[in-house]
């Protein structure tokens, strides 16, 4: 006689970018294994593929995972982890150097309290000069590991990531939306420092999962707080 099939529960959440309802199930043991092996490898591409595959398998709503903004991916993965493993994660925190205490405190964080923070000055349309403007799009999952603020240690990589987020370029008469990644990079490299500064500000204000944690150190008794952001911060 065949074994009975297990019924997996389904949950709902809202996509931060569009408020669209997303239906998902917890990840299974076989999918947790995929995630664990990817994290063990410490290979960014393998981790990206694992997250994409697991989210695609667990989400029943009609949504293309690879085209979602990075903060949508971060939020969905935290929701998925919450319903699959548990709502609470334990983080190891310590004071800053000004507190003169090296004790590491274990602090519990409820993933349901973690939200996406949106910045009021996050503008998608940027005027380059009096004639030209550029419209940017939020980075997707393929850029998630490379976005570290406005400037990366690897300058060429930074330009490539930004170029991948160029949606279109426009002037008073035309819209230019049919170009290669190399052409987008050349366009960015031709900017002055002042023009490029506005592009950098776009990446500094990308929405991200963000949470303020308050705790009291058992060693020194000092109350402290820290702001954690980005997916990796909640699994360190």
- Structure-token pair, residue 209: 């999962």
Neighbouring CB atoms inside 10 A of 176's CB total 15
Alpha-carbon distances, residue 126 vs 51, 135, 136, 167, 195 (angstroms):
32, 6, 8, 12, 9
pLDDT of residue 39: 82
The DSSP H or E segment spanning 13 is strand 11-14
Average pLDDT over residues 184-202: 92
pLDDT of res. 175: 96
Average pLDDT of the segment spanning 187-199: 92
In the numeric block, the tokens 């005027």 are attached to: 127
Cα–Cα distance measured from residue 27 to residue 115, given in angstroms and rounded to the nearest whole number? 21
Calculate the CA 232 to chain-centre distance.
9
16-20 — which CB contacts under 8 Å span 24+ positions?
16/71, 16/72, 16/75, 16/116, 16/207, 17/68, 17/69, 17/71, 17/72, 17/138, 17/207, 20/61, 20/63
The Cα–Cα gap between 230 and 133 comes to 30
Q: What is the pLDDT of residue 152?
A: 47
Nearest to 205 by CA among 236, 234, 229: 229
Q: What pLDDT is stored for residue 148 in this prediction?
A: 45
pTM above 0.95, yes or no: no
- Residue that is written with structure tokens 């506005």 in the block: 198
Higher pLDDT, 37 or 97: 37
What is the distance in angstroms between the CA of the first residue and the CA of the last residue of the chain? 45
- Residue-by-residue DSSP string for 210-228: EEEEEEE-TTT--EEEEEE
Q: What share of the chain is helix, strand, coil (3-state, %, to 5)?
A: 40, 25, 40
**% the chain with pLDDT above 70:** 94
Is it the case that residue 136 has pLDDT exceeding 90?
Answer: yes
Coil/strand/helix, residue 190: coil
Let me know: does 22 contact 59? Beta carbons within 8 Å: yes
Tokens of 204: 């500094």
| Alpha helices for the chain (secondary structure H) | 29-41, 44-58, 70-84, 155-163, 181-189, 193-204
């Amino acid at each position: 006689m065949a074994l009975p099939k297990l019924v997996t529960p389904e949950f709902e959440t809202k996509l931060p970018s569009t408020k669209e309802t997303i239906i998902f199930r917890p990840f299974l043991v076989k999918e947790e294994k995929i995630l664990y092996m990817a994290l063990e490898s410490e290979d960014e591409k393998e981790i990206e593929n694992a997250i994409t595959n697991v989210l695609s398998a667990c989400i029943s709503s009609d949504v293309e995972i690879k085209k979602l903004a990075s903060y949508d991916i971060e939020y969905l993965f935290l929701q998925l982890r919450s319903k699959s493993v548990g709502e609470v994660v334990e983080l190891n925190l310590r004071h800053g150097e000004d507190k003169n205490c090296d004790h590491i405190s274990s602090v519990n964080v409820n993933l349901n309290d973690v939200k996406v923070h949106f910045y009021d000055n996050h503008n998608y349309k940027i005027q380059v000069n009096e004639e030209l403007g550029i419209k940017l799009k939020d980075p997707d999952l393929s850029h998630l590991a490379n976005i570290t603020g406005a400037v990366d240690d690897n300058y060429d990589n930074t330009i490539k990531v930004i170029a991948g987020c160029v949606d279109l370029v426009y002037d008073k008469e035309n819209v230019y939306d049919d170009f290669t990644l190399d052409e987008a990079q050349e366009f960015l490299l031709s900017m002055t420092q002042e023009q490029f500064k506005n592009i950098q500000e776009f990446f500094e204000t990308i929405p991200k999962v963000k949470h303020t944690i308050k705790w009291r150190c058992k060693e020194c008794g000092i109350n402290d707080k820290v702001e954690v952001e980005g997916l990796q911060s909640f699994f360190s």
